[in-house]
Chain A
Amino acid sequence: MAKANGTFRIGTGAGFSADRLDPAVDLARRGELDVMVLECLGERTVAFAHRDRMADPRRGYNALLDRRMRALLPVCRAAGTVIITNMGAANPRAAAERTHDIARALGISGLRIACIEGDDVSGLLRPDQPFMDEPGTLADIGRPIVGMNAYLGADAIIPALEASADVVIGGRLADPSMYLAPLMHYHGWQNCDLAKLGAGTLVGHLMECGMQITGGYFADPGIKEVPDLADCGYPIAEVVRDGSAVITKLPETGGRVNEATVKEQLLYEVHDPASYLTPDVTADFSRVTLKDLGNNRVQVGSAAGRARPEKLKVTVGFDAGVLAEAGVSYAGPAAGARGRLAVEIVETRLKETHGIKSPFRVDLIGAGSLFATAGKARADSEEDVRLHVALRTTEREEAELMLWEVESLLCCGPAGGGGYRGVITPAVETKSVLIERDLVKPTFEMFVT
C-alpha cells in the first residue's frame, strides 16, 4: 500500500450499521484506495450485539457482515485495498472466523484477517465505579449488565497493519482511530507528534459517518439542493504526509462535497471544538481551515492536538426491558379532534383503569409529536393524524396491555380510526464509565486463508 506521490487514499464503505452496500462496492472498484473503513458501531449497537451473542455464541457481530464481505473481499483483494472495520461488535472472533470462511468459499487464498480483541472489559470494573458524566455508580444500575466495552485506539490497530493484515476486524474500535491508525502506519507519524494525530483524527471524524459529508443528511429542497441522492457516493480522503487532506468522492456518483457539507460534519456530535477526546489524542478542531477547490473537492487542514486522555471510555450496556409502541390513525374532517379524544381515552385507561406506573407518552403525529416537548404541538392542517403511544417497561405483560388498549380503540374509541399497528422491541440502556489504560490489553490474532 503505497502511492508514488505520497498521498494516502482512504475511503468509507459504511458510516453506520445499516449503511448502503452498492456504493461501497463501486468505491472499492474505482477508488484506487489504500484502505476502506467500515464504521458500524454505535453506543446501543454494541449492547444489542451482546444480547445476540448471549442468545447464540456464534453471533454478536454486524448482521450485514456476510453480505458486505461477500461483495467487498474480492474487489478489495483485486485493488490491493485493506479493509478496517468494527463490524466484530460484541464478537470479533466469530466475525473474523466467518470472514475467513467467506474468503475461502470465494476462493481467495493467502488473505490475512486480523482479529482484534481486548475491548471487552467485563469483570475488570468494580461495582463502585462512578459514571463518567452523571451521578451514581455501576452498582446503582440494578438491571442485568449485558456488556462492557472500552474504546480502543490506533495503538490497538497498528500492530495488525505491521503484520500485513488485509482485513482488520475489531469490536469497539473508536471511529476516528480506524482512520488514524493506517495514516500513522503509512506516513510514519509517531505518538509524540500530536499535531499529526489531531490531523488524522480530523480526517477520521469527517469520514466516519460516510455520506454525511458527501451530501447525505444535508438536502433541504429549495435551499440546499443535492444532486442524485439515490446514487450518492461514499467519501474519499486523500491525505498527505503533513496531515492536510482533500475530501472528495468518485466522479459519476450522486451527492455533493462543498464547504457547507464539510462544516456540518466538522462539529457533528462534537461539544467543545477545541477538545475532541479520542483514545489517541485530544484533538483541536477550533482553527480548522477549509478551502473549496471545486469539482467536489474540499481541502481541510490546521487541526491540532494535545495529550490523549489518561483513561479510556467504556460503554456499559444493560437490559432495560422493552419499548412498546402502538398507533391508530384518523383522517378527514375533524381528525384532530377525534385524535385528541383518543389521546384522552388511552391516557385514562392506562393511568386510571390499569394503574400503569411505567413511563409512557402519547403523541398525535400530524398535530405535533417530535417537537411536542419543545412546546410546538400545533399543526396547520389536522386532516390526517396518528395516535402514537410509547411505553418503556421491564414487565412484558404491561407492554402487551398497552398494545391491547390502543387496539381496542378500533371499536371503543372515536369514529373512523384505522391502521392499528403495535410492536414490542427489547430495549437496552447504556452508561459510560472510565477505565485505567493499564487494565485494557488489546491483542490480535491472524487468520490466513
Chain B
Amino acid sequence: MTARGRNERLLVRDIAHARAGDKGNTSNVNIWVYDPEDFELLKRSVTPERIKKEFPRLMRGTVTRYVIEHLHGLNLVMGEALEGGVNASLNLDSHGKSFSYLILGLTLDTGESAES
C-alpha cells in the first residue's frame, strides 16, 4: 500500500487500478489489485451494495459484481448508470469513461473509524 498522511483514509486507488467501459446505458469497471494480499480488502470495500449506497442518483439499475479470483480482479457491471448512455446523456463524459476513478476514489474498508 502507498503511504498516506496520518489523517487520510486509504483509497481504492492506493491498492488497485481500474478501467471503465460502456455498452448502451450500462457501465462496467474492472478493478485489479497490485498486491494479491490486498484482494480481500478490495472485495470487502467494493461491493454492489456499497456502490448503490454511495451513488444513489447515478446507479439507477442493478449492480452486478463478477470476481476473477485467480487474477485478483473484480468486474462491476452497473445497469442504467450512464444517464441514458453515450447517445442520450447530457454529461460531458457521456461514455462514463471517468467512472474508473469514481470507484478508485472510494475509501477502503480497513475496519477503522473515519475519525482515526
Contacts and interface: CB of A to CB of B under 8 A. Distances in A.
Contacts of A18: none
A44 B87 contact: yes
A224 B75 CA distance: 20
A419 B34 CA distance: 43
B9 interface: no
Interface in B73-114: 73, 75, 77, 83, 86-88, 90-93, 98, 102, 105
Contacts of B93: 370
A272 B87 contact: no
Contacts of A429: 87-88
B90 A360 contact: yes
A161 interface: no
Interface in A129-146: 133-134
Contacts of A359: 90
A27 to B, nearest CB: 23
A373 B71 contact: no
B18 A374 contact: no
Contact of A271 (B18, B23, B90): B23
A224 B83 CA distance: 30
A264 B18 CA distance: 6
A217 B19 CA distance: 8
B70 A287 contact: yes
Contacts of A286: 66, 68
Nearest to B18: A264
B7 interface: no
Interface string A251-295: 000000000100111111111110000000000001111100000
A270 B75 contact: yes
A428 interface: yes
Contacts of B22: 269
Given A373-B83, A390-B92, 14 more contacts: A43-B86, A218-B19, A267-B73, A270-B75, A271-B77, A288-B71, A289-B70, A320-B88, A369-B91, A374-B58, A375-B56, A376-B105, A392-B90, A429-B87
19 contacts: A43-B86, A133-B24, A134-B25, A217-B19, A263-B30, A263-B71, A264-B17, A266-B30, A269-B22, A270-B21, A271-B23, A273-B68, A273-B75, A290-B71, A359-B90, A361-B90, A371-B98, A376-B105, A390-B91
